[in-house]
A = this chain, B = another copy of it.
Amino acid sequence: MIEFMIDLQGGGKAPLYEKIYGYIRDEIAEGRIRRGEKLPSTRLLAENLAVSRSTVEMAYEQLLAEGYISAEPCRGFFVCDITGLYRLRQSVSHPQTEAAHGRERVKVDFSPNAVDTRAFPFHILRKINRTVLSDDTEELLEAGDRQGEYALRNVIARYLHQARGVNCRAADLILGAGNEYLQLLLTQILGAGRTVLMENPGYPQAYRTFCNAGYRVKTFCAGGKGAVCEEAQRAGVDLVYVMPSHQFPMGTVMPLNQRIKLLEWAAADEGRFLIEDDHDSEFRYRGRPIPSLQSIDCHEKVIYLGTFSKSIAPSLRISYMVLPPVLLERYQRVCGFYSVTVPRVQQETLCMFIGDGYFERHLNKMRGVYRDKRDFLLRELKKRDWAGHIGGESAGLHILVEVRTAMGEKELCRRAEERGVRISGLSEYMLGSEICGGERGPRLLFGYGKPDEAEMGQGLFILDCILKEEQK
């Protein structure tokens, strides 16, 4: 019989049973009691330690639950075989408290996906949040509708119909935490072994999501001579991913006759679908918004993706997807068990923000803010000798500028970054290894979502300096 020497005074104010448990656990773990050995009975150990029997019983129960000892009816408690454990415990170390990574100092941020945060109506958000979190909100804690709350889907469906001509009901909408999540979900709905055609350059994130899902991805040059439906026919794909109202990053609009042909291509085979990514069509500065591809689709072939990342904020993480009936049915069958990825408090907040008219007001205001910033940027660029052809200026939150210099695009961006100007070149948006557009000078994406006029001026001045140095 083993004798235990347990120090019940030491070890701080932990409960007695924990001290007994901890002592015996360590004795077993460190191999000082061997497997198969019998432990003293609870009565005996309780007497020896001058504690109550139930204290010892609790310690033994914990050892039993974790598997250090086993109980054999009418015989008592025996040490289990845990060979290998002592060796394992040695490597356990405490978590380091690392310092947060210092983000590099960016003075001017021309990122094409950033938004203007200065004009955000925080007071409205605070007000709505207070309302949402007020008294009777227990329901908010419970798991909600898997597609997203019905009321929110309903206001989004109405908005999409009015603003983008999208033909949908709340029931056709699925909410998700960002476009990438919805694309991930979409690959599960569409199933394995698909082939998809994408415009190049385009969204590398979408490209990589398809690649990760094992899809074969074919690309063709955006803005080239070829029509997209002919490319789809030639490439033998069954999915086409397009941004017809405002191609990212080129800023082009797909002409109506190409849209019609693309819809006809999709309608010709029941396995074919079009994925319309309508990422920033809220912001168009010349004339009316270009209607969505989905709005003229009568064959139920368009999967429509949209987001509040640009119209409200990237950190909001709310996107939506409109599925045609056949895919909605497949979603319910294959993916219907996934919980919604957007928190309910956030959903209620957005629902009120749209439903009470704040969203429309915010959009109208931001359209003005962005138009002014765009106009300023265009005026400033036109003063520069180095600024060549300018594209994509009618919509979205960035413009594409050809730079007249002998410097390489990557080199130019790197030098800008060194001086605190974050700007990306078109090559960052090339999908896979293919390069479209042939040998040309640098083409830069000037996102004007984030910087104000002073910052844009500063950024352009720094680019002036870099390009002047190069000429010498």
Q: Which residues on A are within 8 Å of B, measured CB to CB?
A: 17-18, 21, 58, 61-62, 65-68, 70, 80-85, 87-98, 100-101, 113-115, 117-118, 120, 122, 125-126, 129-130, 133-135, 137-144, 150-151, 154, 157-158, 161, 165, 167-171, 177-178, 180-181, 184-185, 188, 192, 204-205, 208, 212-214, 253-261, 263-264, 286-288, 290-291, 295-298, 309, 312-318, 334-335, 337-346, 394, 450
Contacts of A143 in B (CB 8 A): 113-114, 309, 314-315
Besides A62-B288, A95-B158, A117-B142, 6 other A-B contacts (C-beta < 8 A)? A83-B257, A95-B168, A122-B135, A129-B133, A142-B450, A177-B342
For A61, the chain B residues whose CB sits under 8 A away are 286-287
Q: How far is the CA of A142 from the CA of B90 in the complex (A)?
A: 42
CA distance A188 to B211 in the complex (A): 10
Residues of B within 8 A of A178 (CB): 339, 341
CB-CB under 8 A for A141 and B315, given A181-B181, A212-B335, A296-B92: yes
- Inter-chain contacts of A312 with B (CB < 8 A): 141
Which B residues touch A291, using CB under 8 A? 66
Closest chain B residue, CB of each to CB of A291? B66
Report yes or no: A177 in contact with B341, Cβ–Cβ below 8 A.
yes
Taking a contact as CB atoms under 8 Å apart, the answer to whether A67 and B140 are in contact is no
Of the candidates B130, B257, B263, B295, which one forms a contact with A80 in the assembled complex, judged by CB atoms under 8 Å apart? Answer: B257
Q: How far is the CB of A3 from chain B (nearest CB, A)?
A: 23
Given contacts A212-B188, A341-B341, A343-B315, contact A256 B92 (CB under 8 A): no
Contacting residues, chain B, for A137 (C-beta < 8 A): 122
- Flag if B92 contacts A150 (CB, 8 Å): no
Provide the residues of chain B in CB contact with A318, threshold 8 Å.
Answer: 343
Instruction: Please give the count of copies of this chain that the complex contains.
Output: 2
Q: For the complex, give the distance between the alpha carbons of A151 and B101 in Å.
A: 11
Q: List residues of chain B with CB within 8 A of the CB of A114.
A: 142-143
Q: Are A343 and B346 in contact (CB under 8 A)?
A: yes
Contact between B81 and A257 (Cβ–Cβ < 8 Å)? yes
> How far does the Cβ of A60 sit from chain B's closest Cβ, in whole Å?
10
Q: Which residues in B have their C-beta under 8 angstroms from that of A129?
A: 129, 133
Given contacts A126-B133, A129-B133, A315-B140, contact A65 B287 (CB under 8 A): yes
A171 to B255, CA, bound (A): 47
User: Complex Cα distance A88/B120, Å?
Assistant: 39
Give the CA-CA distance A185 to B181 in the complex, in Å. Answer: 9
Question: A61-B287, A66-B256, A180-B339 known; A298 and B88 CB under 8 Å?
Answer: yes
Question: Which of B17, B101, B205 meets A150, CB within 8 Å?
Answer: B101
Residues of B within 8 A of A204 (CB): 337
Q: Which of B82, B115, B257, B450 contacts A67 (CB 8 A)?
A: B257
Chain B hits for A264, CB < 8 A = 84
Q: Are B94 and A161 in contact (CB under 8 A)?
A: yes
Contact present for A334 and B212 (CB under 8 Å)? yes
Cβ-defined partner of A255 (8 Å) among B80, B83, B98: B80
29 A–B contacts from the bound complex (CB under 8 Å):
A62-B287, A65-B253, A65-B287, A65-B394, A66-B256, A67-B258, A67-B259, A83-B257, A84-B263, A88-B260, A90-B298, A95-B169, A117-B139, A117-B142, A122-B133, A122-B137, A141-B316, A177-B177, A180-B339, A184-B185, A184-B188, A205-B337, A205-B338, A214-B214, A315-B343, A317-B340, A317-B342, A318-B343, A342-B343
Report yes or no: A296 in contact with B85, Cβ–Cβ below 8 A: yes
- A264: nearest chain-B partner, CB-CB: B84
Task: Name the contact of A287 in the complex, choosing from B58, B135, B257, B258 (C-beta under 8 A).
Answer: B58
B317, A95: Cβ atoms closer than 8 Å: no
Contact yes or no, A66 B341, CB < 8 A: no
- A287 → chain B, closest Cβ, in Å? 4
Q: What is the chain B residue whose CB lies nearest that of A336?
A: B208
Min CB gap A132→B, angstroms? 9
The complex places the Cα of A223 from the Cα of B195 at a distance, in Å, of 44
Instruction: Give the one of A82, A170, A312, A340 with max B CB within 10 A.
Output: A82
CA distance A177 to B92 in the complex (A): 29
Which residues of chain B are near A97, meaning CB under 8 Å?
Answer: 154, 158
Nearest opposing residue in chain B for A290, CB measure: B66
The distance in angstroms between the C-alpha atoms of A101 and B170, with both chains bound, is: 11
- Shortest A351–chain B CB gap in Å is 13
